Amino acid sequence: MKIADLRQEYMRAGLLEADAHADPLVQFQRWFEGAQAAQLPLANAMTLATVSPGGAPAARVVLLKGVERGGFVFYTNYASRKGRELAAQPRACLVFLWAELERQVRIEGRVEKVAPADADAYYAGRPLGARLSAWASAQSQPVCGRAALERSLEEMGRRHGESPPRPPHWGGYRLLPEAIEFWQGRANRLHDRLLYRRAGTGWKIERLAP
């Protein structure tokens, strides 16, 4: 079958303004809980899109680790490509795709670092191997081979033991949304798209054409 011939009809549900919560964070929580209830693999996986100082876009999948203080939180190496791009341009876009539910959520906004105490608390709860790898891996930098990474991990284990501190180059970001779009697949490609935009202290909802 040709790729162009791959098609799917969307029939599962709809999203009407009367059914959408006035607060997009509450609406997101509803949909996220629905993805968890459906036992979707990696329901917290999201595409993070950033832009370089020169305007080149980049995207990768990261994991949502919380919705708190009005924003969407994830953790990474500050010296990674995404970390460098966020330092130069602290704005980003997140996209969740729950294909089995025929749903997407797109979130745009500015990005800030989480407080060191919050990063410390999250880091301390990670498995030991994950904590050590934050020291062992110079994320996004060239490496001569897999063996070099494994040797580095072993060295970090000898150096830090069972209680490695959080590396100064590793921590969290919080995306504070300015726009959130909820997309629900519908029959005949007449999909439901509800866009929330900041309006003072609240939100304005408008329907977009599919």
Question: Around Cβ 186, how many Cβ atoms within 10 Å?
Answer: 19
Give the catalytic positions in this structure. Answer: 189
Are 134 and 170 a contacting pair, CB within 8 Å? Answer: yes
Query: CA–CA separation, 120 vs 70, rounded Å?
Result: 20
* β-pair partners for 174: 73, 112
What is the maximum span of the chain, computed from C-alpha positions, in angstroms? 60
Find all residues with CB under 8 Å of 2, minimum gap 6, and list them: none
